[in-house]
Amino acid sequence: MVTLTARTIRSGKGSMLNAVLPVAKKEVLVGIPAENSSRETQSDDNINNAELLYIQSHGVRQAEMRAEMQQHIEAGKKYSEAHSLYLESHGSALWHVPPRPVLEPSVEANKERIGNQLAQASVAAIKGDEDKRDLYLDRAGQVAENAAKKWFENPENGWPPNAPATIRAKGSDSPLIDTGEMRKAITHVIRER
């Protein structure tokens, strides 16, 4: 494995800097792109997969809190300011749906495997092999994508169980697993910064 540091790059190795810059100018994103976010089974609220993943990652605040925060937002405050104002006035927020994060913890749990692919991309870039560089960037994205999809059933996810009412309505005690649409929509893309 090759470890590249800022000191190595700044030490006059112009060709190394030129070789590594193409990797640094690319980013691998994992999640649900807008073009993949629609749902086959749209509900009345027309929520898409990307919005659903965000809600599941951060939880849902009680209706009263959302209404009060919305008033502040409509008055020109940013979301974070409205949220802070609410917390200062009412204390800690209560969650109606507990957060069940997917992307960040699944990537964190697999950072060594993802990092190995990114390191190989850097080595390929140094050698001037753009095809291999792109192959390893794609592999890093694929590892992260697969990890996120498996996270839904990974016992390490630490998610709170479904509420009894949810289990009765859904017929399952598996959080976030109903139709599987949101999980299937998770993908990765490589793009220029």
Query: What is the pLDDT at residue 92?
Result: 53
Q: Are 151 and 2 in contact (CB under 8 A)?
A: no
Summarize pLDDT for 13-52 with one digit per residue, the tens.
455 555 556 666 788 888 888 776 777 765 555 677 877 7
Q: Residue ranges of the domains in the chain?
A: 8-44+101-192
Question: pLDDT tens digit string along 109-166?
Answer: 999 999 999 999 989 988 889 899 999 999 999 999 999 999 999 989 988 888 888 8
φ, ψ of residue 43 in degrees (nearest 5): -95, 180
CA distance 12 to 116: 26
| 3 state SS of 30 | strand
pTM for the predicted model, two decimal places: 0.69
Q: Which residue has the higher pLDDT, 39 or 1?
A: 39
**Token representation of residue 52:** 């659903």
Provide the 8-state DSSP code for 176.
Answer: T
Query: How confident is residue 10, by pLDDT bands cut at 50, 70 and 90?
Result: very low
